Structure formats: structure tokens, C-alpha cells
């Protein structure tokens, strides 16, 4: 790694940065390490607005944490109301650009008004703190408004990414036992309508506890509305204006004083079984993590135009499109559609026109755009950019260099941010005014984050050794539980290394203490920066009438990092393999969502198994990986050889 270039921050960047020196970082880090409770307690007190102060910073009954015990607070109040008493009142909170080219600029005062109106609608429909809402919407301001209105009342929300199918939506709605679904007729993607309400209708056949489907009109297309269940957002909203007094009451709907540990949201993510896990985040600690990292990592300044391209359906969108930026008083850009529509410069066009200064995206997006050629970004003035970010998977040095020179004009630091749905906010990342960057390394843990690398026995691995990445101290934005499954929570995250949180990632630390995250160590794939479990795809495949057995592995992919590769054995029958392959890919889109569609399906007579019958995915991984390099498909595809191998090298 020593031949890699490194990039110290420029004097100009440092001069204006929130944190300017290694010494400042070291002081913060040491303070946090020596007395974590005092460190986080004082930040929470100063940086958040409380209805009632907390009395205890941390109650740690490992692995169950309660942060800021006794405090009363509201996330929506912290994202909106408190800014209205400042100059931020008329500052744009959201800059929205729809895929067809429509736009809206929503100030903090206006966003507050819209959130209050929706909260009143929800109240009028009978919802209150403790209820649960599933949100399935396109990337439009009303998605952010829905999150904030739920948070205002204490309704626990679960956003389901619009790319998930009706089946996946149903599984989540049932697991959460939601009473309310908020959706839209559809949204725009690559010029086509994604019909969301149709999927909601299909998902609700077996969800008797859902009382209402609140539906926003976005695409204006014909949809079915079920009497007594489905209500239009705009009709409910209009009904608030019966009198001047009623309008005023609706627009000042007070934020409910909630417990610090009130469940803010549940976000489903893939685990190592076929069933997604509902990651539970609560109120005050999550908010503190999201807000502080805006200042530390994104070096947020009052005049920044900040754009995180993630969909709000993923945790990155929760923390860095909605809650973090708004809590920090930033202007957050929301774009509805695809990055290549109508052309490959859509992102750069938005950066130029909106004068985006901080830009946060994924390695997958960067690689996809590299392939289209430099003339797309070069046709735009990107000089407003001052800081770039990357998230979702390790960024390969070549993509890093391109991002740095072609997009950042060799002027903008890149923050490579490592974190997870479970961590709630960024854990390992350079502070851009402090750290000398090494392409491919997420560099150093943030203040208050104590990480280590351990071997298979849980012993510290030391420097320059590959091992498991763990987090050794509780932190405010940490996962609190798996919704409805505390046993899985304990087993999954806290049983491998006693007392420590197991991330599921492999990593290495170099001699300077920099972390290099290598990837997952479990049966979880990372496709375009989205987590997908091999088991989930396998169990969907074996649901199909033609499939006897299936084994799924991630194979290296130039753009998406990993792609789904499925090995399938068929039931007896006369199958037309070409059309079956198409059908199975479509089947996965139906069962999980289009983004989970296998890149490749290989029909095989048998799967390599151990004597005890366990599929040896490791061998399959080797096959798909080496194929990609050697291109020799014919001999490797002969899986009877592999079964033979498997018998010789029994792994169990
Ligand atoms: C997994 C978490 C929260 C970010 C969006 C994905 C991988 C994420 C990095 C990075 C190397 C990374 C890890 C992690 N990952 N960021 N900067 N460098 N790997 O959230 O779906 O919860 O996935 O994404 O493997 O465990 P997620």
C-alpha cells in the first residue's frame, strides 16, 4: 500500500474547516475515550433542544442501551421548530428536483407548515405515539414530510424502498404490524412510472391490521381506491381548511414530548437468514449521531448546499438526506429519479445549477458514471463543490482518483464513510480538515467510536492483520434491538466477541491506525451498496415451481461491486432453460424487488455439498470469482467435479 498516493487537506480547506487540526481531533477522541458518558452527555445537552433534560446519560445493560434517560425530546422539533427562531427560518431546507424537471424550494418555515399539516391529518385519522406506519413513496418532498410528521407524533415509521416488490412490502408491513401505510400513486424513474399504489394494494391482501392507506398524488395515473381504507392526501389536507382557526391549528400542530428512547423508526435490512431484520432506532441518541456527523464529517457550514444522492428508503437517506441535514439546519437536495436520465450528466447538471458544495454518493454510482466518459462532467461547471463523500462499500482507488480529479478538480477532500444501518450514523471516516487521505481507506474512527480488529477467537489482531471489525463501546446512535426479536439481536451482534458489537465486516488497520474495510464476512452480498442476503434470494428461488435447490453467491462486478449469481438445480421436467432463466429473474424481481434480480443463473445437475449436506458456498464463490478472471467456464461449470472435491475437503 505504500506506493499509494496520499492527500493532505489543502491550507484553504483547513482554514475554513470546523475541525482544523489533528490535535483538535486527538483531544476530542481522548475525551470521549476517557469518559464517554461525559463526552456524549455534554454534546446532547448543548446540541439538542430538550423539553425536559435527561438525568442519566447511559444505562447500559449489555447489549441493551438506554441513552439520555429521563429526557423528553422530539426529532421533528429539532429538525424544524428550533430553526424558526433563527435566521434559518427562510433558508431553503429542501431543494427538490423531480425527474421530469419540476422543482420546488421549501424553506424551513414552509417545511414546518407542511409537516404540521400532515401531522394533523394523521391525528385526525386517529394515529398517535406508539402506532406504526409503513412509508412507500418516491423520492419527493412528501417522503421527507411523512417521516417528519410521524416523528412529530411519535408514530414509528418504516420506510420501504420503492424498488422493493409487493411481496417484500407485505413481509415488512406484517412484521412491523403497521396500522397505516403512506404511499403515492407512483413516481418517475427513467421516464417511466413506478406504480407504487398498485404494489401496496397487492401487499395488503393479508394485512388485516392496516386501517388506512394515505395516498399522495404524484403521477396522476389511474389507481384503485378502496372504500373505507384508502384516502387521498390532498383531500385530507384540504379538509383542514374549514375555518381560518382550523387552518391555524393544523399549521401549528405541536411536537409531542417523547421519551429519549421512543422508537423513531425501524428499517429492514438483510441478514444471514431468509427473513429481513427490523433494525430499531430510537429518538435522542440517533438524532445526536446524525447531527454531530454532519458537522464533523461533512464539515457543514451555514451556506452549504448539501446533496446526498441516496434514496430515503435506505439508512443513508434517513440519516443524511433527512434527519442529519435538517437537525443541523442545512439545505438538503432531493432528486427523484435516475442519475442517467435524460442523459449521463443529470447529477452534474444539478450540481452546477444548484451550486452544490457538499456531494455524497456511492462507489457504484461513481463507477457507472466513469464508464460514460469524462465529457459528461467536463461539460459542467463543478466549481461550487468543496467536499465529496463516498459510502456503501469500499471505494477502489481508481474510482477514488477519478472522483477526486474529474469531479473534485483536485480541490475537494473525499470522506470515505464507513457505517451500517445498525450504527445509525457514520463511525469511521476522515475529518476532512484533519486527515491525510489514502484512497480506499475510511481512515480513523470518529470521536466516541472505539473500534478494533480481532481474530477468530476474539483476540486483538494487531496492526496489518486482516480480522473482524468490532465496536467496543456503546454509542448514542446504535441499534437498540431487532424489532420483535431480541434473541436474534443478541445472537447476531453480541455473541461473537463478548461485550463487543460484531459488525460482520472484515478489516485491517495499518501502522498509522488507518482502517481498511474489506467487506462482509457473512453470507450477505453488497450489490450497488445495498445489502442483500444470499439466503433471501435462495428462499425466493426455491419457491418457484421449477426449482429444486438453489445456492446464491455474490460475484465481483465492475460497476455494482457484487452481482447476484444463482446456481439452480431443477425439478424433473422438460424445461426450456432460456425462457426459464428469464422467468426466474422476473420471479426474483417479483418476490424481492428488481434490484435483487440475479445477474447470472447457472443451471446445474448438483450443488457442491459437504457430507452433512451443507452447500459449500465458498467453492461457488471461488468459481464465480475465478471465472471472472480466467474466463474458463467450461471445466469449472462441471459441478460433479466439485462435489467430488467437497467430499475430499469436508468442511464441517
Ligand atoms: C455495509 C452496511 C450505511 C451505509 C450504507 C449501507 C459496507 C458501507 C462502507 C465503506 C467499506 C462499507 C459494509 C457495511 N460499507 N460503507 N465506506 N467502506 N464498506 O448500509 O446496507 O447497512 O450496509 O456496507 O460492508 O457493513 P448497509
Q: Separation of 12 CA from ligand 1 center, angstroms?
A: 30
The answer on 319 and 265 residing in a single domain is yes
The answer on 306 and 258 residing in a single domain is yes
User: Is 311 domain-assigned?
Assistant: yes
What is the residue-averaged pLDDT of the chain? 94
**Cβ-proximal residues to 251 (8 Å cutoff; 6+ apart), any chain:** 113, 116, 117
User: Is 301 domain-assigned?
Assistant: yes
d(CA 330, CA 307): 10
CATH of the domain at 593: 3.30.300.30
Give the per-residue pLDDT at 612.
73
Q: Residues 218-232: pLDDT tens digits?
A: 999 999 999 999 999
Q: Is 421 in the pocket of ligand 1 (CB under 6 A)?
A: yes
Whole domain around residue 570: which residue ranges? 528-651
The answer on 485 and 539 residing in a single domain is no
Give the per-residue pLDDT at 221.
97
The answer on 289 and 197 residing in a single domain is yes
Q: Separation of 630 CA from ligand 1 center, angstroms?
A: 29
Task: Provide the pairing of β-strand 132-136 with 258-259.
Answer: unpaired
Q: Separation of 310 CA from ligand 1 center, angstroms?
A: 13
**Which of 290, 418, 501, 507 most suits a substitution to test ligand 1, by most atoms within 8 Å of the C-beta?**
418
CA distances from 247 to 144, 215, 371 (A): 22, 21, 52
d(CA 464, CA 146): 46
The answer on 323 and 245 residing in a single domain is yes
The answer on 549 and 481 residing in a single domain is no
Q: Is 391 in the pocket of ligand 1 (CB under 6 A)?
A: yes
d(CA 250, CA 246): 6
Q: How confident is the model at residue 577 (pLDDT cuts 50, 70, 90)?
A: very high
Q: How confident is the model at residue 639 (pLDDT cuts 50, 70, 90)?
A: low
Where residue 265 falls (left for φ over 0; alpha for ψ -120 to 50; beta otherwise) is: beta
Give the per-residue pLDDT at 635.
44
Cβ burial of 304 (10 Å; 0-12, 13-18, 19+) is: buried
User: Is 590 domain-assigned?
Assistant: yes
Cell numbers for 280:
430499531
The answer on 318 and 232 residing in a single domain is yes
Q: Residues 507-559: pLDDT tens digits?
A: 999 999 999 999 999 889 999 988 999 999 998 999 999 999 999 999 999 99
User: Is 374 domain-assigned?
Assistant: no
Nearest atom (ligand 1) to Cα of 429: 17
Question: Phi first, then psi: what are they for 372, rounded to 5°?
Answer: -80, -10
The answer on 555 and 487 residing in a single domain is no
d(CA 137, CA 267): 15
The answer on 538 and 489 residing in a single domain is no
Q: Once rounded to an integer, what is the mean pLDDT over residues 75-81?
A: 98
Q: Is 269 in the pocket of ligand 1 (CB under 6 A)?
A: yes
Give the per-residue pLDDT at 629.
35
Q: Closest Cα to residue 75, out of 30, 16, 129?
A: 129
Q: Residues 260-308: pLDDT tens digits?
A: 999 999 999 988 888 899 999 999 999 999 999 999 999 999 999 999 9
The answer on 479 and 592 residing in a single domain is no
Q: Look-up: residue for cell 462441471?
A: 638
* 257: β partners: none
User: Is 405 domain-assigned?
Assistant: no
Three-state DSSP state, 8? coil
Q: Is 311 in the pocket of ligand 1 (CB under 6 A)?
A: no
Give the per-residue pLDDT at 626.
75
Give the per-residue pLDDT at 640.
61
Q: Is 627 in the pocket of ligand 1 (CB under 6 A)?
A: no
Q: Give the length of the chain.
A: 652
User: Is 229 domain-assigned?
Assistant: yes
Nearest-5° Cα angle at 372, 368 to 378:
110
Nearest atom (ligand 1) to Cα of 530: 21
CATH of the domain at 248: 3.40.50.12780
Q: Separation of 214 CA from ligand 1 center, angstroms?
A: 32
User: Is 32 domain-assigned?
Assistant: yes
The answer on 602 and 490 residing in a single domain is no
User: Is 1 domain-assigned?
Assistant: no
Report the number of distinct structural domains present in the chain. Answer: 2
Give the per-residue pLDDT at 643.
55
The answer on 115 and 223 residing in a single domain is yes
How many other C-beta atoms are found inside a 10 Å radius of the C-beta of residue 647?
Answer: 12
Amino acid at each position: 500500500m505504500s506506493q499509494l498516493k496520499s492527500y493532505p487537506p489543502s491550507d484553504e480547506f483547513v482554514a475554513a474547516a470546523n475541525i482544523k487540526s489533528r490535535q483538535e481531533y486527538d483531544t476530542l477522541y481522548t475525551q470521549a475515550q476517557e469518559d464517554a458518558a461525559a463526552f456524549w452527555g455534554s454534546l446532547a445537552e448543548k446540541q439538542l433542544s430538550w423539553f425536559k433534560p435527561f438525568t442519566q446519560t447511559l444505562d447500559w445493560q449489555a447489549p441493551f442501551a438506554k441513552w439520555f434517560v429521563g429526557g423528553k425530546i422530539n426529532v421533528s422539533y429539532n429538525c424544524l421548530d428550533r430553526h424558526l427562531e433563527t435566521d434559518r427560518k427562510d433558508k431553503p431546507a429542501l431543494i427538490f428536483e423531480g425527474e421530469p424537471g419540476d422543482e420546488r424550494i421549501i424553506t424551513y418555515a414552509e417545511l414546518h407548515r407542511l409537516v404540521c399539516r400532515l401531522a394533523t391529518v394523521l391525528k385526525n385519522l386517529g394515529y398517535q405515539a406508539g402506532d406504526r406506519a409503513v412509508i412507500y413513496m418516491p423520492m419527493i418532498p412528501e417522503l421527507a414530510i411523512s417521516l417528519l410528521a410521524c416523528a412529530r407524533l411519535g408514530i414509528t415509521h418504516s420506510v420501504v424502498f420503492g424498488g422493493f416488490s409487493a411481496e417484500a412490502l407485505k413481509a415488512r408491513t406484517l412484521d412491523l404490524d403497521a396500522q397505516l401505510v403512506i404511499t403515492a400513486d407512483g413516481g418517475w424513474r427513467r421516464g417511466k412510472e413506478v406504480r407504487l399504489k398498485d404494489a401496496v394494494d397487492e401487499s395488503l391482501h393479508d394485512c388485516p391490521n392496516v386501517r388506512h392507506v394515505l395516498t399522495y398524488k404524484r403521477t396522476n395515473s389511474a389507481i384503485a381506491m378502496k372504500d373505507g381504507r384508502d384516502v387521498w392526501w390532498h383531500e385530507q389536507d384540504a379538509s383542514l381548511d374549514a375555518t381560518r382557526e382550523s387552518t391555524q391549528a393544523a399549521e401549528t400542530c405541536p411536537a409531542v414530548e417523547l421519551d429519549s428512547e421512543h422508537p423513531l423508526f425501524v428499517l429492514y435490512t438483510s441478514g444471514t437468514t431468509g427473513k429481513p431484520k427490523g433494525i430499531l432506532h430510537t429518538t435522542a441518541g440517533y438524532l445526536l449521531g446524525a447531527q454531530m456527523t454532519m458537522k464533523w464529517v461533512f464539515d457543514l457550514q451555514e451556506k452549504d448546499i448539501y446533496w446526498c444522492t441516496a434514496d430515503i428508503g435506505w439508512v443513508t437517506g434517513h440519516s443524511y438526506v433527512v434527519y442529519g441535514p435538517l437537525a443541523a439546519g442545512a439545505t438538503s437536495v432531493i432528486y427523484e429519479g435516475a442519475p442517467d436520465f435524460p442523459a449521463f450528466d443529470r447529477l452534474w447538471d444539478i450540481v452546477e445549477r444548484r451550486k452544490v458544495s457538499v456531494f455524497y454518493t456511492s462507489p457504484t454510482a461513481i463507477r457507472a458514471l466513469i464508464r460514460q466518459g469524462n465529457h459528461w462532467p467536463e461539460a459542467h461547471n463543478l466549481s461550487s463543490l468543496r467536499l465529496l463523500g463516498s459510502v456503501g462499500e469500499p471505494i477502489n482507488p481508481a474510482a477514488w482518483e477519478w472522483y477526486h480529479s474529474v469531479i473534485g478538480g483536485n480541490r475537494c477532500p473525499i470522506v470515505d464513510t464507513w457505517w451500517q444501518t445498525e450504527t445509525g450514523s457514520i463511525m469511521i471516516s476522515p475529518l476532512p480538515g484533519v486527515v491525510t487521505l489514502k484512497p480506499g481507506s475510511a481512515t480513523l474512527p470518529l470521536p466516541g467510536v472505539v473500534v478494533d480488529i480481532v481474530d477468530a477467537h476474539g483476540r486483538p489482531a494487531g496492526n496489518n492483520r486482516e480480522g473482524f471489525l468490532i465496536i467496543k463501546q456503546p454509542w448514542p446512535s446504535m441499534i437498540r434491538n431487532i424489532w420483535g426479536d431480541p434473541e436474534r439481536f443478541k445472537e447476531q451482534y453480541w455473541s461473537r466477541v463478548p461485550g463487543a458489537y460484531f459488525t460482520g465486516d472484515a478489516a485491517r488497520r495499518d501502522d498509522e491506525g488507518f482502517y481498511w474495510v474489506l467487506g462482509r464476512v457473512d453470507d450477505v452480498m453488497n450489490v450497488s451498496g445495498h445489502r442483500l442476503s444470499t439466503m433471501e434470494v435462495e428462499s425466493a428461488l426455491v419457491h418457484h415451481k421449477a426449482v429444486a435447490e438453489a445456492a446464491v453467491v455474490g460475484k465481483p462486478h465492475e460497476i455494482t461491486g457484487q452481482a447476484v449469481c444463482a446456481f439452480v438445480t431443477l425439478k424433473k421436467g422438460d424445461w426450456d432453460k432460456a425462457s426459464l432463466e428469464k422467468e426466474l429473474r422476473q420471479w426474483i424481481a417479483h418476490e424481492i424487488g428488481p434490484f435483487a434480480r440475479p445477474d447470472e443463473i447457472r443451471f446445474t445437475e448438483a450443488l457442491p455439498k459437504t457430507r452433512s449436506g451443507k452447500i459449500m458456498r465458498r467453492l461457488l464463490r471461488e468459481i464465480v470469482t475465478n471465472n471472472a478472471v480466467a474466463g474458463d467456464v467450461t471445466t469449472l461449470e462441471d459441478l460433479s467435479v466439485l462435489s467430488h472435491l467437497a467430499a475430499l475437503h469436508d468442511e464441517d
